[in-house]
Amino acid sequence: MKKLLLVNCNTEKAPYPVPPLGLCLLSAGLEDDWEVSIYDCMFDEGVDLINRVLQFKPDYIGFSIRNIDNTMPDNCVYYVDNQISRIILPVKKITSAKIILGGSGFSIFPQELMELTQADYGIIGEGETAFRQLLDSLDKGEDVFSFRNVLVGSGTKAGSGSAYIHQGLFSDRFSEIDRKIDFTPYRERGAYSIQTKRGCSHGCIYCTYPLLEGTAFRTRKPVDIVDEIEQAQSRVGDVMFEFVDSTFNDPRGHAEAICREIIRRKLRVRLRTMGINPRNSSEELFELMMEAGFIQIDATPDSASPILLSNLGKGFDLHEVQQMATAIRKFNLPTMWFFLFGGPGENSETFKETLDFIDQYINPEDLVYMASGLRVYPNTPLEKTALQEQVIKPGQSLLYPPVFYFSNGITRDRLVQLIHDASSDRLNCIYSAETRPPLEMLQEAHKLRAEQKLKEPMFRTLLRIRKEWKGKGLL
């Protein structure tokens, strides 16, 4: 059996460490015919990677590049340099194994990352089918130049060999994350990732999801999804399960069906999800979610200004955002809200429209993240706007330095000032560039949670402490 080493290059622990779901899925699909080992750099920053390579002696090494930067114009963290200089290049120096790159970050900037790493191959997009085909063909010594989604060496341009297509059904294998990596350190703050579908049919102007996953939803069967959760829970015990879909409640009815299956089996699970789409949300959905075991959701309308919702291509209107917020509040479903200011057409009036919505509709016990500036990614509608408005030049690299779009209707400084003002008046509002709570606050929160056996989301505990500290004049 030929040997394959898969390396998770991601070491970012904020907002919490995320397990390498993609690599575990790839491993699950390959391990019948390949001897696969995963090296997870998350907690040891890759210090033992060279030893693993020397001992395991892989024929091929796949590096997963998930994060490029933290998408924040203020306090921007750029991850690529470290991943290349500390993880990929040292391995390249000591092995003759073929180096293959993949992952969502890689798929956004494939050519530039091939050049920077001088890797042998790269796979754009999802890997289940393409990676297996590539490995099998390389192993037989076959030509792989014409393979779709595959880059060969740093010289290839995106051509027939890399035209990006989205595959049909994705693997029905379970990731079994806890069997593939040491899941213990993820238990405390992280979650067990579950994907219920791929694809996104929405057209948010800045977003990479349709490029990464395709524009058509490809759903898994609710029975399979709940089997996966049930089996994982029987192995790992009480853990938070997190849905990692672009939007959880798309297409309409799928999320409801998953919740019903969980309820039918009387599972006692803790669940959270990002991406609730206002258009397909309803009281029925939130009621089912509460009953199924959701203890936290992320709501990401980006704006509550009708002009911005339209300019950002969100595909839902203010009324639908208001309805969603009302339903969330009715069921007291702990929610982290995300607003993204600075899109095309943003000005002080549109900012105020969103603020009015926050004041009227959002539970003050829920957290509101306020971000500024839109990260510009290749092949998105925002890239075209940025070109037209001469924010970027034709041919300019968007990889580094990271490029952000700001509306020309308000200066960047003024926008940040408005966010600062809004967050100092409202304790539940936080400027996303300044989200990390002070260490002392985190320690107090952990202590309180342990003493009182609190099961509420961490953000609610932190928010209460923040209010107390403010009351005592400590903030």
The residue ranges that bind ligand B12 (CB under 6 A) are: 10, 12, 15, 17-18, 21-23, 25-26, 62-64, 66-72, 100-105, 107-108, 123, 126-128, 131, 191, 193, 195, 208-209, 212-213, 242, 244, 246, 274
Provide DSSP, 353-418: HHHHHHHHHS-TTSEEEEEESEE--TTSHHHHHHHHTTSS-TT--STTTTPEE--TTS-HHHHHHH
Shorter beta-carbon distance to ligand B12: residue 307 or 376: 376
Smallest gap from Cβ 221 to ligand B12, in A, equals: 17
Smallest gap from Cβ 85 to ligand B12, in A, equals: 17
Cβ atoms of 203 and 381 closer than 8 Å: yes
In degrees, rounded to 5, the angle at the alpha carbon of residue 183 between the alpha carbons of residues 56 and 48 is 35
Provide the token pair at 251: 């297409």
Shorter beta-carbon distance to ligand B12: residue 88 or 292: 88
Which DSSP letter does residue 85 get?
I
Shorter beta-carbon distance to ligand B12: residue 17 or 457: 17
Which DSSP letter does residue 32 get?
T
Which residues, including other chains, have CB under 8 Å from residue 350's CB and lie 6 or more apart?
303, 305, 307, 308, 409
Shorter beta-carbon distance to ligand B12: residue 5 or 318: 5
Smallest gap from Cβ 28 to ligand B12, in A, equals: 10
Shorter beta-carbon distance to ligand B12: residue 21 or 422: 21
Smallest gap from Cβ 331 to ligand B12, in A, equals: 22
Smallest gap from Cβ 208 to ligand B12, in A, equals: 4
Cβ atoms of 73 and 112 closer than 8 Å: no
| CA-closest candidate to residue 339, choices 428, 464, 457 | 428
Q: Is 305 left (phi over 0), alpha (psi -120 to 50) or beta?
A: beta
Measured between alpha carbons, how far is 343 from 302 in angstroms, rounded to an integer?
9
Which DSSP letter does residue 86 get?
I
Smallest gap from Cβ 272 to ligand B12, in A, equals: 9
Shorter beta-carbon distance to ligand B12: residue 66 or 202: 66
Smallest gap from Cβ 349 to ligand B12, in A, equals: 28
Shorter beta-carbon distance to ligand B12: residue 238 or 451: 238
